[in-house]
Structure 1
Amino acid sequence: MTHVEPMDPHEAFAELGRIRLADVDLDALLDKIARLAKRAIPGASEVSVTLLHGNKPQTAAFTGELARALDEKQYERGYGPCLQAAESTSSLMVPDTGSEERWPGWAKTAAQAGAHSSLSVGLPVHEHVTGALNIYATTPNAFDDDAIAIAQTFAGFAAVGLANAHLYETQSTLAGHMQKAMENRAVIEQAKGIIWASVVAPPSRPSPS
């Protein structure tokens, strides 16, 4: 686990707001969200972003192996705080994985791995895509009311950015398809013109001598 300098939450919010979608792709945006959250949310040791499309969850970004591994354990079991937060777009906290009873199997794995508390905040990304910002801590009861409020505000900024990025990417893809269709249309029209010209005015043949 790498150490990073803490960041004032307001600076993190502002940095999220300054991101130009034309300059970054979705993967880069997700990575930036995870890294900024780790610096801005008090108590955070590692952070990940879960995206849920239909019933298929994936960890789209993570700051360390601990976060990725604990996300994957939830996907394997089919339950856990990050999955429930993504499905319900709500906030779920595990104050102490050593005494957690809602997801006992996963909590025991988390405690053994060194994550002793967690906070997952839902991200409403798109009509068919939701997600969760997952914050893991190496100490129990790492997230007080202020930390939770900061995490929820951060998640709000992140959700807007992801929704806009999803829309931008969709529009860019559509524009690319339209351009390709127009190019194909031009080729078809050119071919039709050649065929029509050969029918109306077939090439002359030399007369027999």
Structure 2
Amino acid sequence: MSRELELVDAFVGLADTLVAGFDVADFLHDLLERSVELVDADAGGLMLNNAADGRLHFVAASSEQARLLELLQLQDEEGPALEAYRTGAQVSVPDVDGESSPWPTFLEAARAAGFASVCALPLRLRERTLGAMNLFRTSPGSLSAADASVAQGLADIATIGILNSRALEEQERLAEQLQSALNSRIAIEQAKGVLAEYHHVDVGRAFEMLRGFSRSNNLRLSKTAEAVVRREPAVEGLIPPRRRTAR
């Protein structure tokens, strides 16, 4: 397969992953494998920002040596991938032997792992950066402009996929919250009717009774309402429980 067809196949493959059954871990491993295959690289590692805690975490590597180098960067909080993440720009280390950099521990570890150069690319979309990908080479030298462009393009597609996934999860979470709120409102309206009828009061007074009982007993209003509708023993201070039918 020619390089052009390989590139088309890679971009289509990554885009297809966004359709259904999106698995972020599998998606990122696929990104890493395709990046190593398509450019002049021998191994790669990838770290991603966790939306929950705002910190970078290791997510994928093409070899054990690359995995250890990714973990080392996270442990020491320094290295080309972290620099690419912080700045949103590519970071190139053409020669780990001849490079004077602020990451001597990382360079020594990379050298010991058999790598001679590394290029870190941000996973970014406009001003938002979600993580970074390291591409390691066993020979010194920078990635060619074409290879760097291809790798960055793949990383950018991954960023779009992750953002789409997070947006979908947020929409689903909001939909669940809305449905829960609607269900709670139905239970509350039913409970107001039950209390109004039993105590011969208007629905406004019935709601005050319902809310007052919830607060004084440290209960959620919706749970109290559901218990009133079912006339459970837990709310017998508001309404007597249903009598059990004698057998």
- Alpha-carbon distance, 1:125 to partner: 5.4
Confirm or deny: 8 A CA contact 1:122 1:131 kept in the other structure: yes
Amino acid of the residue matched to residue 144 of structure 1? S
Which residue number in structure 2 is paired with residue 65 of structure 1?
64
Superposed CA offset, 1:173-201 (max 9, x none): 22222223323333333333322232239
Confirm or deny: 8 A CA contact 2:93 2:142 kept in the other structure: no
How large is the Cα RMSD of the aligned pairs? 2.8
CA distance in 1, matches of 2:146, 2:19: 30
> Whose strand fraction is larger, Structure 1's or Structure 2's?
1
- Alpha-carbon distance, 1:87 to partner: 0.9
Bigger Cα displacement from structure 2, 149-158 vs 193-202: 193-202
Between structure 1 and structure 2, the one with the greater Rg is: 2
Superposed CA offset, 1:39-75 (max 9, x none): 33x2222222222357622112333322221111112
1:97-136 matches, cutoff 5 A: 97-102=96-101, 103-124=103-124, 130-136=130-136
1:50-199 matches, cutoff 5 A: 50-52=47-49, 56-102=55-101, 103-124=103-124, 130-141=130-141, 143-199=143-199
Q: 1:25 to 1:126 in 2, by over 3 A?
A: farther
CA distance in 2, matches of 1:196, 1:34: 64
Of 2, 18, 26 in structure 2, the residue corresponding to residue 20 of structure 1 is 18
Q: Which secondary structure state, in structure 2, belongs to the residue aligned with residue 96 of structure 1?
A: coil
- Which structure has more relative contact order (CA 8 Å, sep 6+)? It is 1
Confirm or deny: 8 A CA contact 2:124 2:155 kept in the other structure: no
Which residue number in structure 1 is paired with residue 233 of structure 2?
none
Q: 1:105 to 1:20 in 2, by over 3 A?
A: closer
Amino acid of the residue matched to residue 85 of structure 2? A
Q: 1:8 to 1:187 in 2, by over 3 A?
A: same
Confirm or deny: 8 A CA contact 2:130 2:159 kept in the other structure: no
Query: Which consecutive unaligned segments of at least 5 residues does structure 2 have?
Result: 202-238, 241-247
Amino acid of the residue matched to residue 74 of structure 2? Y
CA distance in 1, matches of 2:64, 2:191: 56
Q: 1:20 to 1:76 in 2, by over 3 A?
A: closer
CA distance in 2, matches of 1:126, 1:152: 13
Amino acid of the residue matched to residue 67 of structure 1? A
TM-score, L = length of structure 1:
0.80
CA distance in 2, matches of 1:44, 1:50: 17
Which residue number in structure 1 is paired with residue 234 of structure 2?
none
Confirm or deny: 8 A CA contact 2:96 2:117 kept in the other structure: yes
Confirm or deny: 8 A CA contact 2:88 2:129 kept in the other structure: no
Aligned residues: 197
CA distance in 2, matches of 1:73, 1:82: 11
Which residue number in structure 1 is paired with residue 43 of structure 2?
46
TM-score, L = length of structure 2:
0.69
Moved over 4 A (4+): 125-129
CA distance in 2, matches of 1:16, 1:186: 44
